Amino acid sequence: MTSFGFLKSTIFDKEERKQQYQSHIRGLNAYDRHKKFINDYVNYYGKDRSSNLKLPIKTDQDTLREGYRFIRSEEDDMDPSWEQRLVKRYYDKLFKEYCLADMSQYKSGKIGLRWRTEKEVMSGKGQFICGNKNCNEKDGLASYEVNFCYFEAGENKQALVKLVTCERCACKLNYKRQKEKEQLEKRQLEQDRRKRSRSKSDDDLDDFQESKERRRKGKRALTSASDHKIDDDDNLDEFLEGMFP
Ligand SMILES: [Zn+2]
Centre of ligand 1 from the C-alpha of residue 43, in Å: 32
Q: How far is the CA of 243 from the centre of ligand 1 (A)?
A: 19
Q: Over 60: is that where the pLDDT of 210 sits?
A: no
Q: How far is the CA of 53 from the centre of ligand 1 (A)?
A: 28
Q: pLDDT tens-digit profile of 94-135?
A: 877 899 999 999 999 888 998 898 899 999 999 999 999 999
Cα gap 52→81, rounded to integer Å: 27
CA 140 to ligand 1 center in whole angstroms: 9
pLDDT reading at 72 higher than 50: no
Is the model's pTM score more than 0.85? Answer: no
Give the mean pLDDT of 28-32: 93
Distance 165 CA to ligand 1 centre (A): 5
User: Which contiguous run of DSSP H or E holds residue 160?
Assistant: strand 155-165
How many other CB atoms are there within 10 angstroms of residue 147's CB atom?
Answer: 10
Reduce the secondary structure of 65-115 to three states and give it as a string: HHHCCCCCCHHHHHCCCHHHHHHHHHHHHHHCCEEEEEEEEHHHCEEEEEE
Find the 147 Cα to ligand 1 centroid distance in Å: 19
pLDDT grade for 157, boundaries at 50, 70 and 90: confident
Distance 127 CA to ligand 1 centre (A): 11
Q: How far is the CA of 163 from the centre of ligand 1 (A)?
A: 11
Distance 48 CA to ligand 1 centre (A): 32
CA 63 to ligand 1 center in whole angstroms? 30
As to burial, measured by CB atoms within 10 angstroms (0-12 exposed, 13-18 middle, 19+ buried), residue 57 is middle
Domain spans, the chain: 4-94+229-240, 99-174+218-223, 175-205
Average pLDDT over residues 12-31: 91
Q: What is the pLDDT of residues 87-99, one digit of tens each?
A: 999 988 887 789 9
Neighbour count for residue 233 (Cβ, 10 Å): 10
CA–centroid distance, 106 to ligand 1, in Å, is 13
